[in-house]
Amino acid sequence: MRFLMTTNGGGPAPDEKLFTEMALFIEELTSQGVLLAAGGLDPKGTHVSTKGGVMTLTDGPYAEAKETIVSFALVEVRSKEEVIEISRRFWAMIGEGEGDFRQVFE
């Protein structure tokens, strides 16, 4: 089962300790074949909408920074419980913040 895990902006700024812990976490999940891809996203982004065949592009940043997705991780796990445990470990490192995970249908 694949899940896309995302984090939203508005949390505390990372420090050297967090970068070190996160690097070890990423290395562990990658070596186990769980982490397929991860990265940060430009919080500015561009919103795309279509109506009546007309596409409209709206540049960010958006009004609510805490609602903007700023990072992602694509993981391959055996169960939803496994992605919950990965999330628990991730948020224990980060501290406060918000995010989501959603199953990717193949």
CATH code for position 20? 3.30.70.1060
Instruction: Retrieve residue 48's tokens.
Output: 């795309």
64 pLDDT band (50/70/90 cuts)? low
Residues 4-23: tens digit of each pLDDT: 999 987 777 889 999 999 99
Residue 9 identity:
G
> How high does pLDDT run on average in the chain?
90
Q: Is residue 62 situated within a structural domain? A: no
Q: Is residue 60 situated within a structural domain? A: no
For 33: left if phi > 0, alpha if psi spans -120 to 50, otherwise beta; the answer is left
Q: Is residue 72 situated within a structural domain? A: yes
Instruction: Look up the domain containing 71 and give its range.
Output: 2-41+67-104
Residues 33-54: tens digit of each pLDDT: 999 999 988 878 888 899 999 9
Q: How many domains does the chain have?
A: 1
Q: Is residue 78 situated within a structural domain? A: yes
Q: Is residue 8 situated within a structural domain? A: yes
62 pLDDT band (50/70/90 cuts)? low
Q: Is residue 54 situated within a structural domain? A: no
